[in-house]
Amino acid sequence: QSVLTQPPSASGTPGQRVTISCSGSKSNIGSNYVYWYQQLPGTAPKLLIYRNDQRPSGVPDRFSGSKSGTSASLAISGLRSGDEADYYCAACDDILSGLWVFGGGTKLTVL
């Protein structure tokens, strides 16, 4: 059972907009930044969104992040087949000691 809660699956057709939610608590999302990682099949996770809504260089602006209270969301617009992957949210759960938690992951299928 992961500390952060994500839907196990999401889907959409090419061109559509999909959102993936991530629910936490006051100690993690409610107090700290949220991060999103994309894991393409058979590869290591890759940073997708940092500090709630910031994109690293090279990440298309089709990907966006937001946070409100103890929940966060990842939105993907203009869905493409190459976006089919697992998506994980993460947050620090204790800033004094740097304890981190992940969501259980959401498998995105492009129909």
Partner 1 sequence: QVQLVQSGAEVKKPGASVKVSCKASRYTFTGYYMHWVRQAPGQGLEWMGWINPHSGGTKYAQKFQGRVTMTGDTSINTAYMELSRLRSDDTAVYYCASGDLLDKFDPWGQGTLVTVSS
Give least dist CB 53 to partner 1, A: 13
Stretch of 17-25, 65-73, 75-83, 86-94 lying at the interface with partner 1 (CB under 8 A): 86-94
Nearer to partner 1, 9 or 16 (CB): 9
68-73 long-range contacts (CB < 8 A, ≥24 apart) are: 69/29, 69/30, 70/23, 70/24, 70/25, 70/26, 70/28, 70/29, 70/30, 71/21, 71/22, 71/23, 71/24, 71/29, 72/21, 72/22, 72/24, 72/29, 72/34, 73/19, 73/20, 73/21, 73/22
By CB under 8 A, is residue 20 in contact with partner 1?
no
Q: Which stretch binds partner 1 (CB under 8 A): 21-29, 31-39, 64-72, 75-83?
A: 31-39
